[in-house]
C-alpha cells in the first residue's frame, strides 16, 4: 500500500505539471522542492491595465479597489505557506517511515518489491493510468470551479464598481444639494432682514396712525360741538321753513291751475274751477248736462262720474237735438288700439283725437240713465254712413261688459242681419267671444265679437292704398257682401234717451 500511495502521489504531481505547461504564460507558478520531489502550483495571472486601474474578470477597476485584491493575494500566500509546511512535515514523516521500513525488512522488502513489480506491473500501470485519468478529470473540474469562482469574483467586483460609481454620483448630488441649501439659507437670511425692516417700518407707520387717530378724535369732538350748534340753528330754521313750504305749495297749486286754465278749452276750464272750488261750481254728469248749462260748442269737457267718484275728460258733440258724449274715435291711426283688457276698461288715448273712453265709465253712465247710441263712419272713397240704436246699455265687468242694443236704424242691419249683436267684450288676453278661436287675436283690437263677425271698429288702422281686403282692419261690412275693406274714420257716441 505504501508503494501505491507513492505512485498515486507521483501521478498527481505529473498531471499537475502537464496542466501547468498548458496554462503557459496565463498562470502564476509556485514551485516547492524537497529532496528529490518538487511541487508546482498555478494561479491565474491578472491582466495588465492602465496605470490608474486594475483588471478583474476581464475588466479594469479603479485603483481605489486594489486593496481588496492585495488582501486576497496575501491571504492566498499565507494559505500556500501553510500548505508548504504541511507537505514538508508529511515528507519528513514519509522519509522516516521509509527508513524504518528499510531497516526492518531490508532485503525482504526489496525482493517483495521486485516480485510485486514483476507480478503487478501491468495491473498497476493500468490502475495508475486510471488514477491518472481520474486525477486529470478532478483537476479539470477544479479548474472549472476555479474559473467559476473567478467569474463570480469578477461579477462581484463589477457590482462593487457600479456601487462605487453610484455612490460617487450620490455624493455629487449631495454636494449640489448642500450648495443649494446654502444658497437658500443665504436667501432666507436676506428675507428675514427684509421682514425685520418691514416690521420696523410698519411699527413706525402704526405709531404715526395712532397719533393721527388721536388728532382726528380731537377734531371730531370739535366738529360734534359745532354740529350741535348747527342742529340748534336748523331747528330754528325748520320752524320758519314749514311756513315757507306751505306758502310755496300753495303758490305751485295756483300756478298749475293757471297753466291748465290757459291750456284747456272753456268746458274744461269750468270743470277745473269746479274741482278747485268744491261744490261752489256746477258738476257735470255728461255732455248733455254741459249743454243744458249753456255751453254749446264742440270740444273737450270734464265730467264727474258719481259712482266712481272721479272726473273724466270727454269730447262733446253739440247739435240742436242734444249733446253726444263720444266713447270711441278713429281718424288717423295715431293711437294703437291693440290693447289688453285693463286698458279697454280704464280707457286710453286723447279725447281731442283718437281714443277709447273706457268700458267702466260707459257702464256706470248707461246704468244710471237710459242712453241711445250712434255710430258714424266714412270709407276711403268719401262715403259716409251711420247706424242708430235707440236703447244702449253696457253690462258690468262681471258680465264682461256685454252690450245691449235695441230698436236700430240706418246701417245697423243691412241685408237683414245685425252687424253688431248683444255680445260680450273680448281682448287678446280675455277671450269671451262665441268662437273656438280667439277673435281679438285674429281680428286685432278689443270688440264685442260674436264668432268673429263682420264688425270691429277697433281694428288696425290701414292707410289709403293698403285698406282693401284687410280682415283685421276697421270694419263695418255693409257696402257689399264679403267686403273686407278697412274704413277711414269712425265715431261712437251716446246721449240720454230723453234729451
Beta bridge partners of residue 328, listed in sequence order: 356, 492
Contact in structure between 69 and 54 (CB atoms under 8 Å): yes
Q: How far does CA 5 lie from the centroid of its chain?
A: 100
Span of 55-64, 301-310, 487-496 with lowest mean pLDDT: 55-64
Residue with cell 261712437: 492
Judge residue 486's burial from the number of C-beta atoms within 10 Å of its C-beta, 0-12 exposed, 13-18 middle, 19 or more buried. buried
Question: Would you kindly state where each structural domain of the chain is located, as residue ranges?
Answer: 2-174, 283-496
Count of CB atoms within 10 A of residue 55's CB?
A: 16
* Grid cell locating 144: 472549472
Count of CB atoms within 10 A of residue 228's CB?
A: 10
If you ran DSSP here, which 8-state letter would residue 399 be given?
Answer: G
Q: Regarding beta strands 37-44 and 27-34, do their DSSP bridges make them parallel or antiparallel, or are they unpaired?
A: antiparallel
- Which range has the top average pLDDT, 3-7, 64-68, 468-472? 468-472
pLDDT band at 64 (very low <50, low <70, confident <90, very high): very low
**Separation of first and last alpha carbons in the chain:** 177
Q: What would the pLDDT profile of 479-489 be if each residue is shown by its tens digit?
A: 444 467 889 99
pLDDT band at 338 (very low <50, low <70, confident <90, very high): very high
- Please tell me the distance from the alpha carbon of residue 296 to that of residue 199, in angstroms, as a whole number: 94
pTM above 0.75, yes or no: no
Contact in structure between 284 and 302 (CB atoms under 8 Å): yes
Count of H helices and E strands in the chain? Answer: 8, 15
Q: What would the pLDDT profile of 344-377 be if each residue is shown by its tens digit?
A: 999 999 999 999 999 999 999 999 999 999 999 9
Count of CB atoms within 10 A of residue 369's CB?
A: 17
If you ran DSSP here, which 8-state letter would residue 460 be given?
Answer: B
Contact in structure between 259 and 272 (CB atoms under 8 Å): no
Contact in structure between 260 and 272 (CB atoms under 8 Å): yes
Q: Which residues touch 170 (CB under 8 Å, ≥6 apart)?
A: none
Mean pLDDT (whole number) for 24-39: 55
The full DSSP string for 15-67 is: HHHHHHHHHGGGEEEEEEEETTEEEEEEEEPPPP--TTEEEETTEEEEGGGHH
Contact in structure between 428 and 338 (CB atoms under 8 Å): yes
Query: Can you give the pLDDT at residue 402?
Result: 95
Residue with cell 360741538: 225
Contact in structure between 452 and 437 (CB atoms under 8 Å): yes
pLDDT band at 100 (very low <50, low <70, confident <90, very high): confident
- Please tell me the distance from the alpha carbon of residue 357 to that of residue 335, in angstroms, as a whole number: 13
Span of 220-224, 295-299, 330-334 with lowest mean pLDDT: 220-224
Q: Which residues touch 220 (CB under 8 Å, ≥6 apart)?
A: none
Q: Which helix (H) or strand (E) holds 490?
A: strand 489-496
CATH classification (class only), 283-496: alpha beta
- 469 three-state secondary structure: coil
Beta bridge partners of residue 447, listed in sequence order: 426
Q: How far does CA 28 lie from the centroid of its chain?
A: 82
- Please tell me the distance from the alpha carbon of residue 157 to that of residue 67, in angstroms, as a whole number: 12
- Please tell me the distance from the alpha carbon of residue 117 to that of residue 114, in angstroms, as a whole number: 5
- Please tell me the distance from the alpha carbon of residue 330 to that of residue 475, in angstroms, as a whole number: 12
Query: Can you give the pLDDT at residue 287?
Result: 94
Query: Can you give the pLDDT at residue 42?
Result: 60
Query: Can you give the pLDDT at residue 140?
Result: 87
Beta bridge partners of residue 388, listed in sequence order: 374, 409
CA diameter of the chain: 198
Query: Can you give the pLDDT at residue 263?
Result: 56
Span of 135-139, 357-361, 417-421 with lowest mean pLDDT: 417-421
Residue 134 has pLDDT above 70, yes or no: yes
Span of 60-64, 73-77, 183-187, 456-460 with lowest mean pLDDT: 60-64
CB burial of 461-477 (b: ≥16 within 10 Å; e: otherwise) equals bbeeeebeebebbbbbb
Mean pLDDT of the chain, nearest integer: 78
Query: Can you give the pLDDT at residue 154?
Result: 85
Mind spelling out the 3-state secondary structure of 216-254? HHHHHHHHHHHHHHHHHHHHHHHHHHHHHHHHHHHHHHH
- Cα angle 446, 484, 401; round to 5: 20
* Grid cell locating 234: 336748523
Amino acid at each position: 500500500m505504501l508503494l501505491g500511495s507513492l505512485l498515486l502521489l507521483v501521478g498527481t504531481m505529473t498531471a499537475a505539471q502537464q496542466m501547468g505547461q498548458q496554462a503557459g504564460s496565463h498562470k502564476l507558478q509556485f514551485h516547492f522542492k524537497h529532496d528529490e520531489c518538487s511541487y508546482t502550483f498555478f494561479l491565474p495571472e491578472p491582466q495588465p491595465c492602465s496605470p490608474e486601474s486594475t483588471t478583474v474578470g476581464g475588466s479594469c477597476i479603479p485603483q481605489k479597489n486594489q486593496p481588496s485584491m492585495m488582501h486576497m493575494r496575501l491571504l492566498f500566500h499565507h494559505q500556500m505557506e501553510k500548505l508548504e509546511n504541511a507537505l514538508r512535515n508529511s515528507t519528513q514523516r514519509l522519509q522516516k517511515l521509509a527508513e524504518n521500513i528499510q531497516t526492518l525488512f531490508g532485503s525482504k522488502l526489496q525482493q517483495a518489491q521486485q516480485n510485486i513489480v514483476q507480478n503487478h506491473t501491468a495491473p498497476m500501470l493500468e490502475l495508475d493510468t486510471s488514477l491518472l485519468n481520474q486525477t486529470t478529470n478532478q483537476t479539470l473540474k477544479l479548474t472549472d470551479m476555479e474559473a467559476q469562482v473567478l467569474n463570480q469574483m469578477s461579477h462581484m467586483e463589477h457590482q462593487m464598481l457600479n456601487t462605487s460609481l453610484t455612490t460617487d454620483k450620490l455624493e455629487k448630488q449631495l454636494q449640489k444639494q448642500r450648495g443649494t441649501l446654502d444658497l437658500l439659507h443665504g436667501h432666507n437670511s436676506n428675507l428675514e432682514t427684509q421682514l425685520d425692516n418691514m416690521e420696523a417700518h410698519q411699527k413706525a407707520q402704526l405709531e404715526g396712525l395712532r397719533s393721527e387717530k388721536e388728532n382726528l378724535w380731537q377734531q371730531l369732538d370739535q366738529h360734534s360741538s359745532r354740529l350741535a350748534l348747527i342742529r340748534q340753528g336748523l331747528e330754528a330754521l325748520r320752524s320758519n321753513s314749514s311756513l315757507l313750504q306751505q306758502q310755496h305749495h300753495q303758490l305751485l297749486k295756483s300756478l298749475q291751475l293757471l297753466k291748465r286754465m290757459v291750456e284747456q278749452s272753456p268746458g274744461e276750464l269750468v270743470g277745473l274751477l269746479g274741482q278747485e272750488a268744491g261744490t261752489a261750481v256746477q258738476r257735470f254728469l255728461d255732455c248733455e248736462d254741459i249743454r243744458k248749462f249753456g255751453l254749446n260748442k264742440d270740444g273737450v269737457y270734464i265730467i264727474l262720474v258719481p259712482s266712481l267718484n272721479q272726473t273724466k275728460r270727454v269730447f262733446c258733440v253739440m247739435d240742436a237735438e242734444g249733446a253726444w258724449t263720444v266713447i270711441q274715435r278713429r281718424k288717423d291711426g295715431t293711437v294703437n288700439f291693440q290693447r289688453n283688457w285693463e286698458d279697454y276698461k280704464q280707457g286710453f288715448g286723447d279725447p281731442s283725437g283718437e281714443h277709447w273712453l273706457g268700458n267702466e265709465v260707459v257702464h256706470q253712465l248707461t246704468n244710471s240713465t237710459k242712453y241711445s247710441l250712434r255710430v258714424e263712419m266714412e270709407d276711403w272713397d268719401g262715403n259716409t254712413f251711420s247706424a242708430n240704436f235707440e236703447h244702449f246699455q253696457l253690462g258690468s265687468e262681471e258680465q264682461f261688459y256685454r252690450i245691449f242694443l235695441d230698436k236700430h236704424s240706418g246701417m245697423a242691419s243691412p241685408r237683414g242681419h245685425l252687424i253688431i249683436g248683444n255680445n260680450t267684450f273680448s281682448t287678446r288676453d280675455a277671450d269671451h267671444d262665441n268662437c273656438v278661436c280667439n277673435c281679438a287675436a285674429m281680428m286685432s283690437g278689443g270688440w264685442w265679437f260674436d264668432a268673429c263677425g263682420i264688425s270691429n271698429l277697433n281694428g288696425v288702422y290701414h292707410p289709403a292704398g293698403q285698406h282693401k281686403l284687410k280682415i283685421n282692419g276697421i270694419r263695418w261690412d255693409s257696402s257689399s257682401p264679403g267686403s273686407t275693406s278697412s274704413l277711414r274714420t269712425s265715431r261712437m257716441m251716446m246721449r240720454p234717451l230723453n234729451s
